[in-house]
Amino acid sequence: MRKKIAVFMGEITGSFQEVAVRCITERANALNYDVAVICTFGSYNDDSIYAEGEKAGIYLPDISIFDGVIVTEDVFDIEGMADEFYSHLKAHAKCPVVYLRTQRDGFYSLENENKEAIATMTRHFVETHGFSDICFMSGKRESADAKQRLEGFLEVMEEYNLPVHEHMVFHGDYWCEKGHEAVNWFMEGRTTYPQAIICANDYMALAICEELNHRGVRIPEEVCVSGYDYVTEARRYYPTLTSMEIDFADMAKRAVEIIEKANHGEEQQLHHKVVPQLRLHASCGCGCQLKGDERVDIANQNSNYTVSMKRFMMSLTEYQDSFDEEEYLWVAEKYSDLIPSDKVYVCLCDEKEVGYNEVEKDNAFSDCMILKRVFHQGESSERPGIYFERRDLLPQSVWEQRKAQNFLFFTIHYKNKVLGYLATDLPKDRWFNIFVQPYIMNLANAMENASVQKALTDLEDIRALYQKDALTGLLNRRGFDKQLRDAMVKAKNENSLYIVSIDMDGLKQINDTYGHNEGDNALTKLGSALQGVLEEGEFCARIGGDEFVAFLIGKDEGRTERFQSAFERSLVSAVGAGMLYSLKASVGICALNEEPDATVSSCLQKADMRMYENKRMHKQTEKEQGSSETRESGKSFFGKSIRL
């Protein structure tokens, strides 16, 4: 059995995270290690209950079975999580542990020379630019690296006898949402902007740039801005950001090598330092604006973002109709392209396990997990239904491949209730974007909603109200779509499947002449007539005011002709004594296999077109016949039979 390394990574969508994960897995695989990346996100809208559920991810794996652990605690975005995990590691880790970018007693570390790096940047602005009015945007107050970077700034300012008052230092959060607040803080009590704003990381620097641009302040002509980390987004930005570059790739590979040497008993120092390099670019005016191959195709990225946003919004709507496991997993599969991996493993907790979700947070997952689905991009999903031990993270058969394996794990939780996790293989070309967290949140919400619905004694009544038309008792559009999905799976081996579009004729005239109650009566009678001519496995719905739709199964030749003939007779029979009008309908039919690439949506559209053409033909015939037939019949001009 191959050795395994666990990587604990927060905010997986960042560019540092991508570089680190790809380089860790590359080096680890070369040394014959499997890699399990445990991914966590930050709290949502400062929701502490949600944060507890997200934090459960650090307790997902059994630390004691791993041969190495790599931690990037500086990107844990939940208060207290870093210290809690450190305590957990001290109690349970039996293998080498390496911290990236931070240092913890008793464990290996690869740490940036934070203080000296920011000192280098500050000296650049003081010595090269001759600036004396420089502000600093620091990281979180409790963060060790933020304290080091702030110390480097303050020491250089003191060295050159440059004043630093309260409103020249702002404490941010290492993310890109406090640019407005920071600039307001810097401008408190002053009328001119500072000459430069140094930021403790690139994301905060980009937020400052955005805010200055919004205010019409030119960079670097009026204010110079710098960052730290030299992330991809900094190189994409206009103006390209001056920053301190850290060789994340080398750092990640060195972390794996430290583990390998430790496992072989080689002596090595506990703490290692990494020296960032100054990269001058357009945001301070000293360097170039990156172009060509060095810039990412922003237009293409924005287009991908728009597509993902539309897909995400569509999934929200479809999850609203998900009342059980089959339904919400179907939606999750349909929109699994929001996850950039080829395979997505859906592992859910065993709800029947004694004590599940009633124990302490470090055991919030069930000990036994169920692999419910495996989504394949562009292919049908698998339904393994395999039970396996959570300590294995995935069934042994998944790990036991010829090549070393890499998987990323994301906790599925509703608030602080853990429901399971997703496991994905390592993406090849794309990386995780901002939609991965809401994708998981939506799935969790749907699972919880289904659980609540299941607990209600009147679930069937609720389902009927939600999926049936109150007037006719037929399915509504929502119910038709759901039943159609199920029917397509069951009837996939049938030779011919048909969508029938039906539009009642003359409803407005009935309403205007006899009143809306009689119009409702006519709709109900037409619905009953339609329902009465369907055969086994077929169904129909009222999807609009006078619009109906039916699904037919062609088990033998002539099914559509038999349907039309029966429907015509049924409409004639539905006209009761004393009724002063006859029931009419225009019909359009389309076979689902009529074209190779036909979809349900395109088929319904074609059936609608044929129905409206049918309606136009009948109106033309009616005009040609004149009004003599109407006078002779003694009835209204609505006619006396179905229009086919």
pLDDT tens across 145-159, in order?
899 999 999 999 999
Give the span between the Cα atoms of 564 and 575, in whole angstroms.
17
Measured CA to CA, the distance from residue 461 to residue 529 in angstroms comes to: 25
- Which residue type sits at 51? A
Question: Which pLDDT score, from 0 to 100, does residue 320 have?
Answer: 85
Beta-strand pair 368-376/386-389: antiparallel
- Facing residues of 643 across strands? 586
- pLDDT 10s digits, 248-298: 999 999 999 999 999 999 999 999 999 999 999 999 999 877 664 444 444
Q: 324-329 long-range contacts, Cβ below 8 Å, gap at least 24?
A: 324/450, 324/453, 324/454, 325/372, 325/447, 325/450, 327/450, 327/482, 328/443, 328/446, 328/447, 328/450, 329/372, 329/373
| Per-residue pLDDT tens digits for 497-517 | 999 999 999 899 999 999 999
Task: Give the count of beta carbons closer than 10 Å to the beta carbon of residue 34.
Answer: 24
CATH number of 466-633, picked from 3.40.50.720, 3.20.20.150, 3.30.70.270, 3.40.50.300: 3.30.70.270
Max Cα separation, the chain?
Answer: 109
**Cβ atoms 179, 170 nearer than 8 A:** no
Name beta bridge partners: 4. 34
CA distance 423 to 417: 18
Amino acid at 68: G
- pLDDT at position 78: 87
Residue 361 has pLDDT above 60, yes or no: no
Tokens 């409103």: give the residue: 167
What band does 299 get if pLDDT is binned at 50, 70 and 90?
Answer: very low
Amino acid at 428: K
Dihedral Cα 274, 278, 284, 289, nearest 10 deg: -110
Q: Which of 220, 276, 385, 269 is nearest to 16 (CA)?
A: 276
User: How many angstroms separate the CA atoms of 305 and 309, rounded?
Assistant: 6
pLDDT in tens, 184-216: 999 999 999 999 999 999 999 999 999 999 999
What pLDDT score does 162 carry? 97
SS3 7: strand
Whole-angstrom distance, CA of residue 450 vs CA of residue 388: 24
The whole-chain average pLDDT of the chain stands at 88
Per-residue model confidence (pLDDT) at position 425: 96
Residue 609's nearest CA partner among 506, 501, 507, 530 is 501
pTM of the model: 0.71
> In this structure, what token pair is assigned to residue 504?
């009642």
| Residue reference for tokens 């974007």 | 433
Q: Residue 626: pLDDT above 90? A: no
Q: Which amino acid appears at position 613 of this protein?
A: E
pLDDT tens digit sequence for 372-414: 999 998 888 999 999 999 999 999 999 998 899 999 999 999 9
Q: Taking residues 25-40, what's their average pLDDT?
A: 97
Partnered with residue 382 across adjacent β-strands are: 374
Residues 615-638: what's their mean pLDDT? 59
Q: Residue 327's pLDDT is what? A: 92
pLDDT digits (tens, 9 = 90+) for 229-254: 998 889 889 999 999 999 999 999 99
The per-residue pLDDT for 62 is 95
pLDDT above 70 covers a percentage of the chain that reads 90
The 8-class DSSP code of residue 67 comes to: S
> What angle (nearest 5°) sits at the alpha carbon of residue 355, between those of residues 350 and 361?
90
pLDDT greater than 70 at residue 439:
yes
- pLDDT top residue among 29 and 625: 29
Fold of 3-111+249-271: Rossmann fold (3.40.50)
Q: Domain ranges for the chain, please list them.
A: 3-111+249-271, 114-248+276-294, 466-633
Omega before residue 61 within 30° of 0, cis: no
> pLDDT-based confidence at 630, cuts 50/70/90?
very low
Top pLDDT among 143 and 116 is at 116
The percentage of residues in the chain with a pLDDT greater than 90, rounded to a whole number, is 64
**Band of the pLDDT at 301, cuts 50, 70, 90?**
low
Helix ranges (H only) for 264-406 are 298-319, 325-334, 396-399
Q: How confident is the model at residue 460 (pLDDT cuts 50, 70, 90)?
A: low
Domain 114-248+276-294 has CATH 3.40.190.80: no
End-to-end CA distance of the chain: 69
Q: What is the pLDDT of residue 363?
A: 47
pLDDT, tens digit (0-9, with 9 covering 90-100), for 83-101: 999 999 999 999 999 999 9
Residue-level pLDDT at 638? 32
pLDDT given at position 46:
67
Q: Residue range 33-62: average pLDDT?
A: 88
What pLDDT shows up at residue 575?
A: 83
- Looking at residue 216, its pLDDT comes to 97
Rounded distance between C-alpha atoms, residue 578 and residue 369, angstroms = 65
Alpha-carbon gap, residue 625 to 641, rounded angstroms:
15
CATH topology identical between 3-111+249-271 and 114-248+276-294:
yes
Phi, psi of 111 (to 5 degrees): -120, 140
Residue 355 pLDDT class (50, 70, 90 cuts):
low
Q: Is-contact 548 511, C-beta < 8 A?
A: no
- Asked if residue 96 has a cis previous peptide bond (ω within 30° of 0), the answer is no
